[in-house]
Amino acid sequence: MKGLAIRNQRAFACGALFLAFAIFFFVTALSYPAGTVARMGPGYFPRLLAIVLAAIGLVVILGAMKSSAEPQALRKWDLKGLAWVTGSVVLFGALLFPLGLIGALFVLIMVSSRASHEFTWIGALTNAAVLIALCLAVFVYGLGLQLPVWPSLFN
Amino acid sequence: MDLFHNLAIGFATAAQPANLLYAFFGCLLGTLIGVLPGLGPLATIAMLLPITYALPPDAALIMLAGIYYGAQYGGSTTAIVVNLPGESSSVVTTIDGYQMAKQGRAGVALATAAIGSFFAGCVATLAIAALAGPLTATALLFGPKEFFALMILGLILASVLSSGPFIEGIGMVVLGMLLSLVGTDLNSGSQRFAFGVPQLFDGLDFVPLAMGIFGFAEIVKNLEQDDKLSLVTQKITNLFPTRDDFRRMVPAMLRGTTLGTLLGVLPGGGAVLSSFASYTLEKKLSRHPEQFGKGAIEGVAGPESANNAGAQTSFIPLLTLGVPSNVVMALMVGAMNIHNIHPGPEVMTKNPTLFWGLIASMWIGNLMLLVLNLPLVGLWVKLLTIPYRYLFPAIMVFCSIGVYSINSGTFEVYEAAVFCVFGYVLIKLQLPAAPLLLGLVLGPAIEENFRRAMVLSRGDVTALLTSPLSASLLAAAAIAVLLIMLPTIRARREEALQE
C-alpha cells in the first residue's frame, strides 16, 4: 500500500491553494449575517461559494494522491526575477508623489531592468531616457492625464 | 429594412473624420503592440486603456475595438514570421504559417491571413447587425432566474475550454467569484472582505488584476525563458497567392468564417476555440492531410478567418445580454463602465448611434487593417528584433501609468503588484487565469440574480428548474460537465488545447 503519497505535487498545491482560500473566505464570512434562502444576508452567498471551493480543493487534493495520478513535480521558481519586477512596481507607487513621474519612472525602469540577465547600465539608462520622454509626450502633454510630473518639493 | 437603416446610422457615426482617425489609431497601436510576442489582446487593451480616458464614449469604444482586433491581427504576424503566437488564438497559425515562411512563402501566408481575416470580419459584422435585434428582444424576456442560469452556463463553458484539468478551471471560477464579493453588499449596504480599507469598498478592480496577472506576471515568466527568436531572415517579397493557392484557401475561408461566427457567440467561446476547431476541421476535410504541419495554406486560411470571425461575434452576448463571453470582453465591460456605459439590452435602445457606430467601425477597422498591414509588414517584422530587455520595462511603464490613471491613485498600483505575485503562483501551478477573471466579472451579477430569484420564489430553489428557459440553460451546463467527464472527450480536449 503506497496509497497516501503525493504523486502529483502540482495538483496537490493547487488543491491546497483552493482549500486555503475557501477556509479564509468561510471564516471571514461567519461574521456576516447569513439570513435565509428567501432573504439572503451578506454572509449567505460567500459561505455557499466557500463550501463549493473547499469541496473542489478536496477533490483536487485527493486526485493528486490517487495511486493512478500522474507524477508531476512543482516547477522551479525564479524569486529573484519576481522580486525585481514586483518591487519596481511597488517603488513606482511609493515614489510617484514624492519624486514625481520622471523620478518614479526612472526608478521603475532601472529596477525592473535588473530582472533581465542581459542587464547593462548603459542599456537601461538609454531605455529610461527614451521611455520617460515618450511618456511625457504621450500621457502628460498629448492626453493631458493628471500625473504629478515633478517632485512634490517644487509644488 | 431595419438592418440597413441601422447600419446606415452606424456608418454615419463611424465615418465621421474624428472617429475614422480613432479607429485608425486603435488598429495601428493594437497591431504595433500585438506584434510583440507575449502580449496578447488582453494586455494590449489594458495597457492602452488610459489613452481612451479623455475621449467621448463612442470614440473611446471605437478605438478600443480597433486595438482589440489590431492586437489580434498582430498576433498572426508573429505566429507566421517567428513561430511565436502573439496570443493564444494564433497558436494554430504557427503550425503551418511558420512552415510556409520557412519555404519562402511568408508573404503569401501573411496575405492569406489578412484576406481571410477581412472576409471573416465582413461576414461577422453583418451577423452582429442581423442578430443584435432579435437577441436584445430575447434578453428582455430574461428574468433573474434566466440570467443566473445563462451566466452559470457561460462560466462552465469557459472552464471546459480553458487549458488544464476541468476541475481546476471550475475552482478558478469559484475563486474569482469569491474575490468579486470584496466590497459593499448592494442589498444590505454592509462591507464584505474589505477589512476597513476604504479603497476596497468598491471591490477589487478588474484592470489592476488583469494587468498584474497578464502584464507583470507574464513578464517574469518570459524573462525566465531563453528568448531565442527563430526569425525568418529572408525578405518578404511576394505577397500574391497563386491561382492554386486561391483555389485552396477560399473554401477554407468560407468554412472558417462560418465556424468562427457560430462559435464566437457561445459563452466561453471566442477566437481561441474557433481557430482550433477550424484547424481540426480543415485537416479532416483535406484530401492531403499529410500536408498539414508542413505548410498547408488551408491551415492558415481557415483558422485565421475563424478566429477573426469569433473575435468579432463574441461582442454579441456582451452587447445584447450584457454578459461577457470571454476575458477580453470582460475587460471591455470594465472599459465601458469607465465611460459610463453599462452593457446590456438597454445600450441598443438608449444609445443607438453608439451601438451601431461600434458595429460599423468593426468593418471599417478590418478594412484599415488590410490596408495597413500588408504594405507595412516589413516594419512589423523589424519590431521583433528589439531585444526583450528593452521591451519589458516599456510594458511595465505603460501598465503602471495605466493602472495609476484608473482612479488617479497609487492603491491600484499596489493592487497590481500583489496580483503580479499571485499571477506568478498561478503560472507555476499551471492554473488558468481566464476563468478566474471571468468569475470575478460575473460574480456580482450572479449573486444579485440568484438572490433576487430566491426572493421571488420565496426560497424555493427548484424554481430555477421550473422555468423552461433557465432549466434548458442549466441542462446545457450539466451536459457540458458530463461530456467533459467522459474519458474519450477528455483525451480529445487535452490534445486540442495542448500549447
Q: Is B181 on the interface with A (CB under 8 A)?
A: yes
- Those residues with Cβ within 8 angstroms of residue B92's Cβ, 6 or more apart along the chain or in another chain: B275, B276, B278, B279, B299, B303
Do residues A96 and A127 share a domain? yes
Do residues A83 and A61 share a domain? no
In a domain, A149, yes or no: yes
Do residues A44 and A103 share a domain? no
Do residues A57 and A102 share a domain? no
Do residues A61 and A88 share a domain? no
pLDDT of residue B213 exceeding 80: yes
Do residues A32 and A99 share a domain? no
CA distances from B71 to B62, B76, B170 (A): 14, 9, 28
In a domain, A112, yes or no: yes
Reported ipTM: 0.91
Do residues A46 and A101 share a domain? no
CA distances from B493 to A59, B153, B157, B422, B487 (A): 21, 18, 13, 27, 10
pLDDT value of position B491 = 66
Please name the amino acid found at residue B242: T
Which residues of chain B lie closer than 8 angstroms to A74, CB-CB?
428-429
Beta carbons of A128 and A110 less than 8 angstroms apart: yes
In a domain, A70, yes or no: no
Q: Of B477, B440, B448, which Cα lies nearest the Cα of B175?
A: B440
Q: Which of B216, B397, B447 sits opposite A105 (nearest CB)?
A: B397
pLDDT in tens, B6-41: 888 888 888 888 889 999 999 998 888 888 776 778
Place B499 in a pLDDT band, splitting at 50, 70 and 90. Answer: very low
Do residues A13 and A56 share a domain? yes
- Structural domains in chain A (count): 2
CA–centroid distance for B424 within its chain: 21
In a domain, A103, yes or no: yes
- Those residues with Cβ within 8 angstroms of residue B420's Cβ, 6 or more apart along the chain or in another chain: A82, A85, A86, A89, B212, B213, B215, B216, B217, B220
Which residues of chain A lie closer than 8 angstroms to B405, CB-CB?
139, 145-147
Most confident segment among A10-19, A70-79, B245-254: A10-19
Which residues of chain A lie closer than 8 angstroms to B187, CB-CB?
40, 42
The SS3 of residue B130 is helix
Q: Which of B53, B390, B396 sits opposite A88 (nearest CB)?
A: B396
Place B496 in a pLDDT band, splitting at 50, 70 and 90. Answer: low
Do residues A112 and A83 share a domain? yes
Q: Of B49, B26, B36, which Cα lies nearest the Cα of B399?
A: B49
Q: Of A96, A99, A92, A94, which Cα lies nearest the Cα of A153?
A: A99
Q: Which domain holds residue A132?
A: 79-154
In a domain, A74, yes or no: no
In a domain, A41, yes or no: yes
Do residues A83 and A48 share a domain? no
Q: Is A42 on the interface with B (CB under 8 A)?
A: yes
pLDDT above 70 covers a percentage of chain A that reads: 95
pLDDT of residue B237 exceeding 60: yes
Do residues A107 and A138 share a domain? yes
pLDDT in tens, B33-65: 888 776 778 888 888 887 787 788 888 888 988
Which residues of chain A lie closer than 8 angstroms to B424, CB-CB?
82
Q: Is A135 on the interface with B (CB under 8 A)?
A: yes
Phi, psi of B193 (to 5 degrees): 55, 25
Do residues A83 and A147 share a domain? yes
The C-alpha cell 461577422 sits at: B124
Q: Is A151 on the interface with B (CB under 8 A)?
A: no
Q: How many CB atoms lie within 10 A of CB B396?
A: 28
Which residue(s) pair with A8 in the sheet? A72
Place A130 in a pLDDT band, splitting at 50, 70 and 90. Answer: very high
In a domain, A32, yes or no: yes
- Indicate the residue among A16, A43, A65 that finishes a domain: A65
In a domain, A17, yes or no: yes
Mean pLDDT, residues A50-56 taken together: 95
pLDDT in tens, B312-364: 888 888 888 888 878 888 888 878 887 888 888 888 888 888 888 888 888 88
- State how far the Cα of B195 lies from the Cα of B302, in Å rounded to an integer: 51
- Indicate the residue among A14, A35, A65 that finishes a domain: A65
- State how far the Cα of A62 lies from the Cα of B33, in Å rounded to an integer: 43
Mean pLDDT, residues B274-289 taken together: 84
Which residues of chain B lie closer than 8 angstroms to A32, CB-CB?
185, 190, 192
Q: Is B170 on the interface with A (CB under 8 A)?
A: yes
Place B486 in a pLDDT band, splitting at 50, 70 and 90. Answer: confident
**Which of A112, A117, A122 should one mutate to test binding to chain B, selecting the residue with the greatest count of B CBs within 10 A?**
A112
Phi, psi of A72 (to 5 degrees): -150, 125
pLDDT of residue B228 exceeding 60: no
> Does B51 contact A143 at a Cβ distance shorter than 8 Å?
yes
